[in-house]
Amino acid sequence: MDPTVLDRSIPELAGLVTRGEVSAEEVTTACLDRITKRDGALGAFLTVQADEALEAARAVDQKRARGEALGPLAGVPIGIKDALCTRDAPTTAGSRILLRPASKGEAAADPRRGFRPPYDATVVARLRAAGAVLVGKTNMDEFAMGSSNENSAFFPARNPWDPTRTPGGSSGGSAVCVAAGLAPGALGSDTGGSIRQPAALTGTVGIKPTYGRVSRYGLVAFASSLDQVGPFAADVRSAARLLGVIAGHDPHDQTSLGAPVAHYEDACGRDVKGLRIGVPEEYFAKGIEPAVEKSVREALAGLVSLGCELVPVRLPHTRYAVATYYVLATAEASSNLSRYDGVRFGARAEGAEDLAALYARTRGQNFGREVARRIVLGTYVLSAGYYDAYYLRAQRVRTLIRRDFEEVFRQVDVLAAPVSPTVAFPLGERVDDPLAMYLADIYTLPASLAGVPALSVPCAPTPAADGVPSLPVGLQLVGPPLEEARLCALAAAWEGISPARGSRPKVSGA
């Protein structure tokens, strides 16, 4: 089989397998071979489940041989962010605290010793039911806390456009998996931008659905009122197909919405003429790199050429989004991560003389610096005397941010803005400057706080200059609740004329 088949879109690849023009086993073998040759320099995967993937691929081929109908993802290899539970593979959430103790001769930090869940996350089960082949668990910032993938307890993922630079985070491994052609699609999670920002920095498509549109059951929790699962793909139609598979009500998730699932893939051919596109002035303020702003404004001009109307709008409470997010998200994290105590599962410190010492040692030895920082901050804002001053006030500001979006969507159909104020930055540049790292998500946090859908689609990359290579830039499209189909339609229309269409990084390996 020609290995470039892996570079086809997900609908095309599934069609080839369904028609028998290529077998799922051949596709999976080519995918695993590509991972072996390419991923050593990129770090996209924490673990690869080769045997299980080949077994799943053969099951697809056998099903076809029996004349049974195949699912919409028949034989398509997919990477899974390691925050999602998988019954046949370890789950670490990028943390040492979910590793079993090392035996003699084993490495201290080996993700293959991760916690083995007894069940699949709902989105994982839906992928399997659709015929997808799950090839491995992708790298991530520990407990999804980070914007560069450098908070992984194991090793950082590297941007395939320039391996000295970050792919973004926290779903950096999933973004690299798709950008480097290791698999046609991947799942990530987005709490404050962790799908959209890595998608923008790696030149892929990433979708953060409406809060509750996709089940969180089986997702290792960071901030439960913000976490959402979504897809990465190389093109909009592929991402739309993945979203259509994983979306829908789930009785296991009490925040899951019961609204019918739209036909996202069908929407990709829809005419977008007449759509009113809001351009929020707050997203083009001081701090955005000139080359990024130029690329995004060229994309806005492209939307006008498609028949859309640009409308200047304001989201006045955007300036409070970073502070609001880091109060609320850390407060929820301090509660969610209290379950990691060395008693029930995962790592356990040795030599503790009492229960309090066991808790302290286990967490102190196994939580990374950023996770510890956020737990401390979250515990502080929830403590007596500070709850009203910080947490309750942040909740009120969150309501104001949500009202900003409600008001603006009475005037326009979609918002268009940058995803990130910068292109991918060098690894190590912001590790010791948490505030600079937090500001990487300044344009993605408002949509997360409001719970509205948003996606990143590539626009023109920056030109190479002064030794810096050409790097991807993402256009962010934000819609009203449950209007993912509208976003897919507009993104696909833009993709059809985008100068970034079909561009991929040059990656060593077959």
170 is catalytic: yes
> 127 near 71, Cβ under 8 Å?
no
Least Cα distance to 94 among 146, 54, 42 occurs for 146
Query: How far apart, in whole angstroms, are the C-alpha atoms of residue 250 and residue 191?
Result: 20
Among the listed residues 81, 95, 152, 295, the single catalytic one is 81
Among the listed residues 9, 170, 171, 420, the single catalytic one is 170
Which H or E element spans position 346?
Answer: none
Query: How far apart, in whole angstroms, are the C-alpha atoms of residue 63 and residue 301?
Result: 48
Largest CA distance in the chain: 70
**Coil, strand, or helix at residue 266?**
helix
Q: Cβ contacts of residue 256 below 8 Å, gap of 6+?
A: 212, 215, 216, 217, 249, 250
DSSP 94-109: T-GGGBPPPPTTS-SS
Residue showing tokens 């093109």:
235
Among the listed residues 194, 215, 295, 448, the single catalytic one is 194
506 is catalytic: no
Least Cα distance to 77 among 21, 119, 18, 136 occurs for 136
Amino acid at 155: F
> 47 near 112, Cβ under 8 Å?
yes
Q: Cβ contacts of residue 98 below 8 Å, gap of 6+?
A: 91, 92, 114, 115, 340, 345, 346, 347
> 303 near 277, Cβ under 8 Å?
yes
Query: How far apart, in whole angstroms, are the C-alpha atoms of residue 269 and residue 224?
Result: 34
Catalytic residues: 81, 170, 194
